[in-house]
Amino acid sequence: MRIMFSLLFLGLFATGCKKDVTKDIEALADRACACTDAACAEKVVDDLLALADKNRKARGDEDRAQKAARRLGECTIKAGMDQDKFMTKMKQLQAMDE
């Protein structure tokens, strides 16, 4: 799962755009940690994918974003999201960067 978080940062923190998505990722992590079921967790991951798609060349505080993304992943799994489904969605994120 660590590799998927690294891919997340490659996708979200490419050079070029001026938008800082760090707070957005932190807010998504907060939402993921508030989830009590898989449907909620999956919605948060879908929102993460949408954020990545809209901000393909974003910038931000990579350390803070990495911590938030790790927390997001842990919380979505804890809320009951299927780990294989999570990994599939992270691969979709990776594909956005190609």
Quote the mean pLDDT of the chain. Answer: 83
In this predicted model, what pLDDT tens digit does every residue of 66-94 receive, in sequence order?
Answer: 899 899 999 999 999 999 999 999 888 88
In this predicted model, what pLDDT tens digit does every residue of 41-55 receive, in sequence order?
Answer: 999 999 999 998 888
Taking the model in full, what pTM does it have? Answer: 0.81
The candidate with the shortest Cα–Cα distance to 96, out of 7, 28, 20, 24, is 7
Q: Which two tokens stand for residue 24?
A: 């957005």
